[in-house]
């Protein structure tokens, strides 16, 4: 696919946890123009009817992690957000508890939802004030953000705008232009009238409210509202006379509704994960040259590339640096022993990086014309396979790449282009079926 996008390189953040250019959370508190705790309620009680799925969409897996964990992480990474309450159906409580534990969602707690969206949100809000949740030790927030579990790409920028506007005006919500014209039908399924598109907007999530305002609205609203209403903004308007401020959000706020949305979400995550790479080379001439060329080529593909050269045995020392850069791709160039590679894998696995996303590790071997052909070292390919098989269980995807190094500059250039093309595609696809393969360029 041609990647000419409307999405800025970084702020996509399928959790901007991998944000190289300064963590926006750092400025979050100071940029925030109001004081007081902010919490989040995430209704996730849906049962997936719309998609016709056996698994509700918030629990569908992207890169082997449930969608809802991405959404939770998008909030947890923001310093000024203190707590996230996920509201789930009774039958998903155990699943939700296991997700919170497995992905170490420390700010997150769960409660059981009601039969409709509004009842679920009300249950989520009650956790902060109802005596029966006292054991949760939660402070009632000044501002509460309400979001959908199935909109994982919410970023700090829009959250800050919405929370600030809610603090100032009592309520705020994200909107988007309408993609299609909206029409009214009559009872025989004929067109009654169409709305002028420019006068209307789609109401999206997130929305935010002064806690007391939205809680009061729910206390006052009718059974009919609980049963058939869809829009919190409407409730605060009707019952608290609070007119919500509306703020234009980015297209990535879209709601994962159909199967094609799951595809889109996974592709966006993979694209973001493949935007930067750390290349660690041996110190010998060929490895250095390969590292240099690879950097040049990957940069023309709009990747951020950092090259580090290290002696035998020192490579594992570079990993804390990679980890601090939040890069999910490492390429190691050089023919050093497998033992060294195993040590690097151990360091990666012991950092917490691979908890949320699979790491790609490409081992580049150099076959020199004067040395024993690599393909004759029969033990090496199967050793890579064993290494990779074990690493896969630790969420590290290991691939081998064999470069035939020649003095013929035209041939070498073709090899290098191939190396770049294949590396880029391995980082982009994160295909777990191909780990342990030794690819030849």
- Using CB under 8 A as the binding rule, the residues of this chain from 348 to 387 that contact a second copy are 373, 375-376, 378, 381, 385
Number of residues that bind a second copy (CB under 8 A): 90
DSSP per-residue codes, 34-79: S-S-EEEEEEE----TTTT-SS-GGG-EETTEEHHHHHHHHHHT-T
- Distance between CA 439 and CA 85 in Å, rounded? 46
Which residue lies nearer to a second copy by CB, 5 or 320?
5
Can residue 254 be called a binding residue for a second copy (CB under 8 A)? yes
Can residue 119 be called a binding residue for a second copy (CB under 8 A)? no
Can residue 300 be called a binding residue for a second copy (CB under 8 A)? no
Can residue 265 be called a binding residue for a second copy (CB under 8 A)? yes
Q: What is the CA radius of gyration of the chain?
A: 25
**Are residues 57 and 51 in contact, defined by beta-carbon separation less than 8 angstroms?**
yes
Burial class (CB in 10 A: 0-12, 13-18, 19+), 213: buried
SS3 367: strand
Supply the minimum distance, in Å, between the C-beta of residue 384 and a second copy. 10
Which residue lies nearer to a second copy by CB, 62 or 86?
62
Which residue lies nearer to a second copy by CB, 244 or 287?
244
Closest C-alpha among 67, 63, 15, 1 to residue 431: 63
Angle ∠(75,393,74) on CA atoms, nearest 5: 5
Which residue lies nearer to a second copy by CB, 61 or 314?
61
Can residue 179 be called a binding residue for a second copy (CB under 8 A)? yes
Neighbours of 53 (CB within 10 A): 14
Q: Output the furthest CA–CA distance in the chain (Å, rounded).
A: 83
Can residue 203 be called a binding residue for a second copy (CB under 8 A)? yes
Hey, which residues between 408 and 437 contact a second copy (CB under 8 A)?
421-422, 424-425, 429, 431, 433-434, 437
Hey, which residues between 76 and 115 contact a second copy (CB under 8 A)?
none
Can residue 403 be called a binding residue for a second copy (CB under 8 A)? no
- Contact track, a second copy, 141-170, x by CB under 8 A: ----------------------------x-
- Contact track, a second copy, 38-57, x by CB under 8 A: ------------xxxxxx--
Can residue 392 be called a binding residue for a second copy (CB under 8 A)? no
- Distance between CA 254 and CA 268 in Å, rounded? 12
């Amino acid at each position: 696919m041609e990647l000419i996008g409307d999405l800025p390189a970084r702020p996509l953040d399928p959790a901007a946890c991998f944000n190289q250019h300064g963590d926006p959370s750092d400025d979050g508190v100071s940029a925030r123009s109001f004081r007081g705790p902010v919490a989040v309620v995430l209704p996730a009680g849906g049962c997936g009817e719309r998609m016709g799925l056996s698994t509700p969409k918030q629990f569908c897996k992207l890169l082997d992690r449930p969608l809802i964990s991405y959404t939770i992480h998008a909030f947890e990474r923001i310093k000024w957000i203190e707590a996230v309450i996920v509201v789930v159906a009774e039958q998903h409580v155990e699943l939700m508890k296991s997700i919170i534990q497995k992905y170490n969602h420390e700010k997150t707690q769960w409660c059981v939802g009601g039969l409709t969206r509004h009842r679920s949100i009300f249950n989520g809000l009650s956790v902060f004030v109802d005596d029966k949740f006292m054991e949760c030790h939660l402070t009632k927030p000044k501002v509460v953000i309400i979001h959908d579990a199935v909109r994982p790409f919410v970023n700090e920028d829009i959250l800050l705008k919405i929370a600030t506007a809610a603090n100032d005006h009592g309520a705020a919500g994200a909107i988007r232009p309408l993609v299609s014209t909206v029409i009214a039908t009559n009872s025989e399924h004929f067109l009654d009238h169409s709305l002028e598109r420019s006068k209307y907007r789609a109401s999206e999530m997130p929305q935010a409210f002064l806690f007391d305002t939205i809680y009061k609205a729910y206390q006052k609203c009718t059974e009919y509202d609980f049963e058939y209403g869809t829009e919190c903004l409407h409730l605060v308007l009707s019952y608290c006379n609070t007119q919500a401020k509306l703020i234009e959000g980015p297209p990535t706020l879209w709601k994962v509704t159909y199967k094609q949305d799951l595809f889109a979400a996974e592709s966006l995550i993979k694209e973001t994960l493949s935007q930067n790479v750390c290349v660690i080379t041996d110190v010998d001439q060929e490895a250095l040259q390969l590292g240099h060329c690879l950097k040049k080529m990957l940069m023309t593909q709009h990747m951020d590339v950092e090259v580090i050269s290290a002696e035998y045995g020192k490579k594992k020392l570079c990993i804390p640096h990679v980890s601090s850069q939040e890069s999910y791709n490492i390429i190691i160039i050089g023919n050093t022993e497998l033992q060294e590679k195993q040590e690097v894998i151990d360091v990666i696995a012991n950092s917490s990086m691979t908890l949320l996303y699979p790491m790609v590790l490409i081992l580049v071997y150099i076959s020199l014309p004067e040395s024993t052909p690599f393909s004759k070292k029969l033990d090496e390919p199967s050793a890579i396979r064993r290494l990779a098989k074990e690493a896969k269980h630790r969420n590290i995807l290991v691939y081998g790449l064999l470069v035939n190094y020649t003095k013929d500059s035209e041939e070498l250039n073709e090899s290098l282009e191939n190396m770049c093309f294949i590396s880029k595609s391995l980082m982009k696809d994160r295909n777990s079926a191909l780990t342990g393969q030794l690819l030849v360029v």
